[in-house]
Copies of this chain bind each other. A is one copy, B any other.
């Protein structure tokens, strides 16, 4: 695929003209990671943000006790690690910034683009549309995080799982343009799913079991069949 075409897969860059895309392309670099490879650690000095061209990236933290939790899962088109750019803007503490979390490729051949800060700042000043897109993308993430906190604070694990399954079903329906597809193929390991739901694998396993014994879902490895979507929905209220 043509490089500029590929870059425009990133939502943030999707409205740019070819000159602007070329500008991005000149300064950025594209790299492909194996499954399990680290893209950056939360100790590395910050020097640019990333966009997912293909594959799947997990953004996560690890506690002192060694427990991991996943903040975000980033799919094709998403950008990540853009927040520090604008903290720089406010603080001008350019030197001592580090990445805010760890990032790992969790699909084979995950392809990302790395955009350095300086040229991007230039671009953003010359193009107010990209600024608005950035705001929209931040707004979306803020909304997501608020929902996530709400869920972690107020819901038990089974409820959180039910919410996750419904969101995934929604996504699949949207992608396949069907209204009641009922099979979810997990694209992440159960270990990662647990950590994304703010729990551990054993507890996730029991939650899945619970929904299964209630005949709401059927689990078969990474394939989850939704039997009673209405029951699942009533779980989340």
Which chain A residues have a beta carbon within 8 Å of chain B's beta carbons?
61, 63-65, 67, 69, 71, 83-87, 89-90, 100-101, 124-125, 128, 131-132, 134-136, 138-143, 145-146, 148-150, 152-154, 198, 237
Q: Report whether over half of chain A's contact residues are helix, strand or loop; otherwise say mixed.
A: helix
Q: Which of B71, B86, B124, B237 contacts A149 (CB 8 A)?
A: B71
Inter-chain contact B237/A136, CB cutoff 8 Å: no
Show 17 A/B contacts (Cβ-Cβ < 8 Å), sorted by A. A63-B150, A67-B154, A69-B149, A69-B150, A84-B139, A86-B135, A90-B136, A90-B139, A101-B146, A125-B128, A128-B128, A131-B131, A131-B135, A135-B135, A148-B149, A149-B149, A149-B198
What residues of B have a CB within 8 angstroms of the CB of A138 in the complex? 86, 135, 138-139, 142
What residues of B have a CB within 8 angstroms of the CB of A71 in the complex? 146, 149-150
Count this chain's copies in the assembly: 2
Q: How far does the alpha carbon of A131 sit from the alpha carbon of B85 in the complex, in Å?
A: 14
Q: How far does the alpha carbon of A61 sit from the alpha carbon of B145 in the complex, in Å?
A: 14
Inter-chain contact B83/A198, CB cutoff 8 Å: no
- Tell me the nearest residue of chain B to A65, going by C-beta: B154
Q: How far does the alpha carbon of A64 sit from the alpha carbon of B151 in the complex, in Å?
A: 12
Q: Which of B85, B141, B146, B152 contacts A153 (CB 8 A)?
A: B152
Q: Which of B85, B89, B142, B237 contacts A83 (CB 8 A)?
A: B142
- Tell me the nearest residue of chain B to A134, going by C-beta: B135
Q: How far does the alpha carbon of A101 sit from the alpha carbon of B139 in the complex, in Å?
A: 14
Instruction: Tell me the minimal C-beta distance from A237 to chain B in angstroms.
Output: 6
- Tell me the nearest residue of chain B to A64, going by C-beta: B237
What residues of B have a CB within 8 angstroms of the CB of A61 in the complex? 150, 154
Q: How far does the alpha carbon of A149 sit from the alpha carbon of B196 in the complex, in Å?
A: 11
Inter-chain contact B152/A86, CB cutoff 8 Å: no
Q: How far does the alpha carbon of A101 sit from the alpha carbon of B149 in the complex, in Å?
A: 13
Instruction: Tell me the minimal C-beta distance from A28 to chain B in angstroms.
Output: 20
Query: Apart from A124-B132, A138-B142, A152-B153, what are 5 other A-B pairs with CB-CB below 8 Å?
Result: A61-B154, A86-B139, A125-B128, A128-B131, A131-B131
Q: How far does the alpha carbon of A2 sit from the alpha carbon of B87 in the complex, in Å?
A: 31
Q: How far does the alpha carbon of A63 sit from the alpha carbon of B154 in the complex, in Å?
A: 7
